[in-house]
């Protein structure tokens, strides 16, 4: 089986302070089109690892390779065009004054054509069932709605891989159903996903590979 690597960590170490290392000597490869889940107890370093892989945090030492390129030197905006990331707290990622603008934001400033923008925006509004909210001020939405808007906005860039930090947080069952459907669709289109989640049933539905993390290390890596 010949699988191409999307994201790869080589001997990666991360710490804010030398005395407390958050990620220890990690070697890990995520493959194109793969649906993986990062699970583990609170404070294990899951979010930190996710942010490292998305280029938001830079490793203290070791290598991060993103689609064959050295991640340390790639600027975040370049990484983001291939690897999407959604924060645990959606409020950190809301940038526009309406849901519509929010989804169109990334495309608009990368000089995409107006037709293309509206086509993408419409399809994402529909996909996430948020058409009725198109004019709403994103910060005034409920938590679950904010999450969907942020995910939609990330997908507008058409990334090849996407990392979601606790995507089911604050979503009700119906919205988790919608999310499952969206993730299924991404999988079919060959887009890789890394889910950071506590929600076991959600992980079981959406991931084929489980990475279990404890105290800054991957302690278990298996396929479902």
The residues of the shown chain that bind other proteins, judged by CB under 8 A, are 16, 40-44, 46-47, 54, 56, 75-78, 80-81, 84-85, 87-89, 91-97, 105-106, 109-110, 138-139, 141-145, 153-154, 157, 166, 169-175, 198, 200
Q: How far is the CB of 3 from other proteins (least distance, A)?
A: 26
Q: CA-CA distance, 61 to 64, in Å (whole number)?
A: 9
- For 5-23, give one letter per residue: b (16+ CB within 10 A) or e: ebbbbeebbbbeeeeebbb
Considering the complex, state which of residue 26 and residue 141 has its C-beta at the smaller distance from other proteins. Answer: 141
Q: Which helix (H) or strand (E) holds 219?
A: strand 217-223
Decide if 209 contacts 19 (C-beta within 8 A).
no
Q: How far is the CB of 28 from other proteins (least distance, A)?
A: 20
Decide if 87 contacts 154 (C-beta within 8 A).
no
143-155 and 173-188 helices, crossing angle to 10°: 10
Considering the complex, state which of residue 77 and residue 189 has its C-beta at the smaller distance from other proteins. Answer: 77
Considering the complex, state which of residue 173 and residue 188 has its C-beta at the smaller distance from other proteins. Answer: 173
Q: How far is the CB of 190 from other proteins (least distance, A)?
A: 19
Q: CA-CA distance, 203 to 189, in Å (whole number)?
A: 19
Determine the length of the chain: 224
Q: How far is the CB of 161 from other proteins (least distance, A)?
A: 13
Q: How far is the CB of 109 from other proteins (least distance, A)?
A: 5
Q: How far is the CB of 184 from other proteins (least distance, A)?
A: 20
Considering the complex, state which of residue 34 and residue 175 has its C-beta at the smaller distance from other proteins. Answer: 175
- Report residue 50 CA to chain centroid gap: 8
Considering the complex, state which of residue 35 and residue 150 has its C-beta at the smaller distance from other proteins. Answer: 150
Decide if 33 contacts 44 (C-beta within 8 A).
no
Considering the complex, state which of residue 44 and residue 124 has its C-beta at the smaller distance from other proteins. Answer: 44
């Amino acid at each position: 089986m010949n699988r191409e690597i999307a994201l790869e960590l080589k001997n990666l170490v991360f710490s804010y302070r030398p005395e407390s290392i958050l990620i220890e000597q990690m070697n890990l490869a995520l493959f194109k089109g793969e649906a993986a889940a990062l699970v583990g107890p609170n404070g294990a370093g899951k979010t930190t690892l996710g942010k490292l892989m998305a280029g938001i945090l830079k490793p203290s030492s070791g290598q991060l390779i993103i689609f064959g390129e050295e991640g340390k030197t790639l600027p975040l905006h370049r990484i983001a065009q291939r690897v999407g990331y959604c924060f645990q707290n959606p409020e950190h990622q809301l940038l526009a004054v309406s849901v519509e603008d929010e989804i169109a934001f990334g495309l608009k400033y990368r000089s995409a054509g107006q037709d293309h923008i509206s086509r993408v925006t419409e399809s994402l509004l529909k996909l996430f069932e948020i058409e009725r909210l198109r004019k709403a001020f994103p910060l005034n939405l409920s938590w679950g709605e904010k999450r969907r808007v942020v995910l939609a906005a990330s997908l507008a860039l058409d990334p090849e891989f996407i990392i979601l930090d606790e995507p089911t947080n604050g979503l009700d069952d119906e919205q988790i159903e919608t999310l499952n459907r969206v993730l299924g669709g991404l999988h079919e289109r060959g887009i890789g996903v890394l889910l950071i989640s506590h929600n076991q049933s959600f992980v079981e539905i959406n991931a084929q590979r489980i990475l279990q993390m404890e105290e800054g290390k991957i302690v278990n890596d298996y396929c479902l």
